[in-house]
Amino acid sequence: MTRESWTTRTGFILAAAGSAVGLGNVWRFPWMTAQNGGSAFLMLYLALVLIVGVPGLLAEFVIGRRARRNPVGALSSLSESDRWGVVGLIPVVTTVFLLSFYSVVGGWILRYLVGSATGAYFDAPGAYFDSIAFGPEAVAFQAVFLAATAAIVFGGVRRGIEAATKVMMPAIVVLLVGLAAWGTTLSGAGDGLSFFLSFDAAYLRENFFDVLGAATGQALFTLSVGAGTMITYASYLGEDRSLAADGATIAVFNTLIGVVAGLVVFPLLFAQDLPVGESGPGALFVSLAGAFSTLPAGRLVGVVFFGVMTLAALSSSISMLELPVAFLVDEYDVERRRATAGLAGLFLVFGAVNALRPAVFDFVASTLVDLLLSLGLLCFLLFTGWVLGTDATEEFRNGAGSLGRVLALPWLYVVGVVLPLGLTFTVTTGVLGVANVSLPSAAVAALSVTAAVAAFVGLRRSRSVL
């Protein structure tokens, strides 16, 4: 079976950026920013995107393009070991959990898109969300969102994913910039911009570890790093592309979209004197619905905003579905259309559990997904640094010019040693949190370093590459 590929470099960048942008920027980013001190979270998040996100993104690109297969096949073939193929199943499992809750949120957005046009939520925004968030209606709209996602993936890489993202991504940018420009004209918008952009050092000092964990999870979530989607997308790349240039472009584009989304959301909330720090994924929906219900031309603004969110949600959900589809196509030679239809049905079942059980949704959407993304990225980084080794630097240099040759070896040490130490701490903290075990920070740090050193020693004995 001939493997598909991207038609143009622009198509790949827009598709990968679409995977990264998604609801991580337009929905989850403002929500996490509001819960974690506004500007304090923003500054730490931007630093983590640069320090952790971009090197991790490039590691996934290297694995994907070199193997030209999905994460399971890539890790197995490049290492010539079935054990790494089992590790490659982690991102496949992660996408099951990701899309199971993501499709529920996508259903919410579709419901609010309709509600904006009809004014259904204008009288009681809070009660409206409570009535549609969980239950049979949520399952129904989740099914519609999944059907739209499957229809795009059904068309394949060029005629489905690439064609759709070439339309969706420019539309997202234009609509968000327009909303941000309009938002600055609202009375009280200045307070929202200050909350979002003015650095709060005192808050960061007092809540550093809480903000660090949230910012790390958000950086990985919003860049689609750790889920294996970027390995899959890079597997359709040609040899002449500069991975470093493409990765930097995608990271910058993604970050700018998140910042512009904040420039839309916070002026809206502050202009209407609405709460910004309420907990829970539905708080932002309720607050924005309250803003649209009181603003002039609120229905039109609501339709535009939730239209942007719909496009952003689809641009990410198609990458989540593409990964397990590629797995079935590559490893078991399943026809793409059959794989897409079957997996869409599977995701509908898993998503229905999230749509019917709020407690399950809250756990999956935050704690579990953050932990799995961190674990997935940790595995990819260790694989790149300790299994691929110098082969990874060759892939990194390919098409990158003189700057790529200079940066290749430092990048390898960053992804092979520096980042795994930090991510081991994040994973250890997450596992202890899930197990409801409380330890002093020093003990967690010692446990993390011990685990990292053990991993390094084991990998070093298996293959000396660094």
pLDDT of residue 453: 60
List all residues 6 or more positions away from 176 whose beta carbon is below 8 Å from its beta carbon: 26, 257, 260, 261, 264, 308
| Mean pLDDT for all residues in the chain | 82
What token pair was written down for 420? 């795994």
| Radius of gyration, CA atoms only, the chain | 21
Sign of the four-CA dihedral 66, 70, 73, 79? positive
277 pLDDT more than 80: no
Look at residue 353 in the predicted model and tell me its pLDDT.
Answer: 94
| Positive or negative: CA dihedral 151, 31, 118, 177 | negative
pLDDT category, 237, cuts 50, 70, 90? confident
Of residues 268 and 236, more confidence is placed in 236
For residue 26, give the DSSP letter: I
User: For the whole model, what pTM was predicted?
Assistant: 0.84
| b/e map 435-448, b = 16+ CB within 10 Å | eeeeeeeeebeebb
Contact 224, 319 (CB under 8 A): yes
Residue 248 in this model has a pLDDT that exceeds 60: yes
- The 10 Å Cβ neighbour count of residue 426 is 23
- Cα separation, 155 vs 170, in Å, equals 20
Of 343, 456, 460, 325, nearest to 4 by C-alpha is 325
Question: Rounded to whole angstroms, how far apart are CA atoms 383 and 375?
Answer: 12
Left, alpha or beta for 130 (phi > 0: left; psi -120 to 50: alpha)?
alpha
Tokens of 408: 């290749």
pLDDT by residue (tens digit) across 124-144?
887 888 888 899 999 999 999
- Copy the structure tokens of residue 67: 């193997």
Q: At what angle do helices 298-332 and 9-23 cross, to 10 degrees?
A: 120
**178, 4 in Cβ contact below 8 A?**
no
Residues 84 and 76: their CA atoms lie apart, in Å, by 5
Average pLDDT of the segment spanning 240-269: 82
Given this model, what pLDDT does residue 436 score?
A: 66
- Rounded to 5 degrees, φ, ψ at 148 are -65, -40
Instruction: Out of 105-119, 187-201, 245-259, give the one with best mean pLDDT.
Output: 105-119
Sequence length of the chain is: 466
Predicted confidence at residue 63, as pLDDT, reads 93
Lowest model confidence (mean pLDDT) among 2-16, 161-175, 380-394? 2-16
Per-residue DSSP letters for 378-435?
HHHHHHIIIIITHHHHHHHHTTTHHHHHHHHHHHHHIIIIIHHHHHHHHHHHHHHHHT
How far apart are alpha carbons 198 and 195 in whole angstroms? 6
**pLDDT(278) > 60:** no
What's the half-sphere exposure (Cβ side, CA atoms, 13 Å) at 441? 3
| Structural domains for the chain | 9-462 (1.10.4160)
Which amino acid does the sequence have at 330? D
How far apart are alpha carbons 17 and 11 in whole angstroms?
A: 10
Among 46, 107, 102, residue whose Cα is nearest residue 323 = 102
Hey, which of 16-20, 131-135, 245-249, 446-450 has the most confident mean pLDDT? 131-135
At residue 147 the predicted structure's pLDDT band, cuts being 50, 70 and 90, is very high
Distance separating alpha carbons of residues 406 and 298, to the nearest angstrom: 53
Residue 97: half-sphere exposure toward Cβ, Cα within 13 Å? 21
> What's the pLDDT tens digit per position in 75-92?
999 988 888 888 889 888
Predicted local distance difference test score (pLDDT) of residue 334? 92
| Amino acid identity for residue 226 in this structure | G
Above 50 in pLDDT, residue 450?
yes
Q: How far apart are the C-alpha atoms of 350 and 347, rounded to whole Å?
A: 5
Helix axes 136-154, 336-356, angle to 10 degrees: 160
